[in-house]
Amino acid sequence: MASIVNKVTEQAEKLGLSSESMPKVYVDETAGSDDKGDGTEASPYATPVTALAGPQGAEVAIFIRKAPADEYAPISGAALKRAKKGLEQQKEKAKKAEAAAAKESQERQREAQKLEESKKIVLKEDPSLPAAIKTKIQGCSELRSKRISVSGWVHRLRQQKGLTFIVLRDGTGYLQCVLSGQLAQTYDALVLMTESTVRIIGTLTELPEGKTAPGGHELAADYWQLLGAAPGGAEAYSTKFNEETEGAVLYDNRHLLLRGEIASAVLRVRSCVLSAFRHTFAKHSLIEVTPPCLVQTQVEGGATLFKLDYYGQPAFLTQSSQLYLETCLPSLGDVFCVQESFRAENSHTRRHLSEFTHLEAELAFITFDELMAHIEAVICETVDTLLEDPKMAELVYQLHPKFEKPKRPFMRMNYKDAIKYLVEHGIKRKDEETGELVDHAVGDDIAEAAERQMTDQLNVPIFLYGFPKELKSFYMKKIPGDEAFTESCDLLMPNVGEIVGGSMRIADMQELLEGYKREGIDPAPYYWFTDQRKYGTCEHGGYGLGVERLLAWLTDRFTVRECSLYPRCWMGEPGESEACYNMILNGLKIGYRHLDTAFGYGNEEAVGKAIRDSGVPREEIFVTTKLVWDDHGRVAEAFERSMKNLGLDYVDLYLMHWPQAMDPKDGRYLAPEESPTYVETWKAMEELLPGGRVKSIGVSNFSIKTLEVLLPEAKVLPANIQVELHPSLPSFKLLEYCKSKGIVVTAYCPLGRNFKLFADSAEFKSLNESEGLSTAQLLISWALQRGTVPIPKSVNESRLRDNFNVTRLSDHAMNVIDNFHKTSGVHGTLVFKTGAGKVFGWTFDQLGWGMDKDGNVIES
């Protein structure tokens, strides 16, 4: 102890102070707290900077230790110098923050005053001007230099130097309008939001060379009127939709999403595609008919029928209009229909809809080769017709810049040759009994994923034909001389897969009756279909085309749901496995090596398959999966299930997804004290480690409160904790706590659920310019630089690439982002704003999150 006193005395003398006059202040870098400590030995600070800034003043004798097990020692001269420099920097930051706050306050006052003044401005239309010509935007080109009146929705909005620039949308086009002078100073102008409806009157002028706007002209307004205001704030259109908005949110708000340029462009192309098909069919002398949607017979399979009551009799929504089309051949000749079809398939892929637009055709007196040639001609001629319209061509290439018209003739591949190709190229299928990956064999139904992989490798349209009769419907004709196979075909397109399915139909009545028998179908309800063979049969064939699938190919849409006005599909699990599979393949190709999944996401199988198909060595990839709530009492079984889903030899990290458990029998969330508690679940997870199939274990959505219950009981320290972390919820205390315990922190939702909150803020816009980085790159770089592991999610390949390009941020940028949560009203969760103060059965207090019922952090 004497040596410590001597050192302090020596240090004090160097500073020109006597030890008696210097208060002693204690710092424990591990157990201390800058928030709750008071600098005494019993309640030390965590940093020397806080010690210098404390109530004792800057002239203090600082004693410091690394951890509670160490002895206190006087701070070194170098450390004291750094602390003093840090204090000065802190003071300077505080001054700047105070100045910024004052400036912001003044700006708010000016804005408030400006708004009050604006309410006094009343616009009146000038009666001396020529009468305005009412027009739609598409008719503007003929009215340049005229005074016109246009109504529509505010599509884009920008206010600059006393001017308000509006891009107006009315469904027929887009028009740039400029409000100036008092027109831009009214209260309505100052609070105007996108998607408001307005009427604007002014003179339409052609833009000078070098300037651009839709249509090449601009409306200089002399009067305008707000017809219907759209909300701002959290309800603003731009807040609801941004590049990080998740798929479920987009589809829940499809009615608003349709207003976007991409969604509306896809629907315009859809309209013209249908017109082009009708034009092509007319050229080939096919007549359009309208079959019924309510049927009492099946075409594709009973398991996929939507059943309903039809005046006391069972009936179904149609799966296909093919049988009805066949009845028209003797009277009308070749026919087609454009009809909605319905399939009750529990398939949540990017290619399936429960209701889709089915373009079907039937042709008489043809051969199988002629049928495929006809399908090829219809596809190619329809595309040609579509692209002959300059406006449509512009839209198609806007949506799909790399689109190439299909080249004729299409490749034709026999089913048996396809099986051979799959085997030779290592494209396997999953055995339904063992779950193992095995080679395809003749007789197998080629899975959609394998079919698409082959098509994408060959990268040309393919007629896959000659499928086994066991895989096809009862009405399909068998190949003469090879009767185990059928005259059937699928047209496969790169990046989409099957868009057309067709076949020759059985012409012989006895063979058709045998088909009914083979499939266990009662022929009685099909008497009218059988009669087509009884009353003068002929060789005939037909096909069905999924309009949404063809549209996805034309416009390069990731899912057919983007090609339907209001998509109807089985929602299934939240994983959207095919989207996940493609996202991971793209991510691994770019260089990502940390993959985060969970049983609860419903995408473990897709993750495992993508890893296997990627060609990246397993040891280079870090894989995390998680234990779901209702498996807390059966950890070993749940782990085995996840391993089977993933198809991997081991996982790198297995997390307890939430501290709360659920009773698997009644779906009730258990209280913290009910068994199995998260401590009991953790002990069961520890027992997985000796097997070597899980390398480490951790927790997710825990807090300091729940960790302090768990850690004393744990034999194995959690290697990782995964929590929501972003600038609105930086959780400095949790980070500090986990660092002191040696627990790595993973940040989920690092871009925030409301990305626009950051992207549209003045702070991030300034950093975009000063750091030369996008908002996403800033957020990910900040997360990495503060020592966390961010796991951003995006299905968009270009954003995956952008997010991968991170860098070290300046101290200024780190400081700005560190302090973003201090902005009024943003400090809290962006994921779990339930309004009820609880999530998955537990209150925020039980979880230890320190938030009010609205998810805002309670400041201590």
- Please list the active-site residues: 601
Residue type, 424: E
CA distance 827 to 857: 6
Pairing of strands 540-546, 497-504: antiparallel
C-beta of residue 767 within 8 angstroms of C-beta of residue 725: no
Residue 340, number of CB atoms within 10 A of its CB: 15
Which residue from 787, 784, 781, 779 is spatially nearest to 763, judged by alpha carbons?
Answer: 779
CA distance 361 to 378: 11
CA distance 364 to 369: 13
Report the SS3 class of residue 314. Answer: strand
Looking at residue 526, the DSSP 8-state letter turns out to be G
H or E element at residue 281? helix 261-283
Does a cis peptide bond (omega within 30 degrees of 0) precede residue 750? no
CA distance 640 to 625: 12
List all residues 6 or more positions away from 307 whose beta carbon is below 8 Å from its beta carbon: 314, 315, 316
Which residue from 800, 404, 356 is spatially nearest to 582, judged by alpha carbons?
Answer: 800
Write the CA distances from 716 to 150, 407, 598, 650, 740, integer angstroms.
70, 62, 22, 19, 16
Residue 541's DSSP bridge partners are 363, 504
Pairing of strands 355-364, 540-546: antiparallel
CA distance 833 to 722: 19
Pairing of strands 174-179, 622-627: unpaired
Which tokens sit at 318? 């149609």
CA distance 633 to 782: 38
CA angle 564, 570, 575 (to 5 degrees): 100
Write the CA distances from 680 to 193, 643, 712, integer angstroms.
53, 22, 13
CA distance 358 to 543: 10
Write the CA distances from 338 to 274, 281, 287, 306, integer angstroms.
8, 12, 11, 20
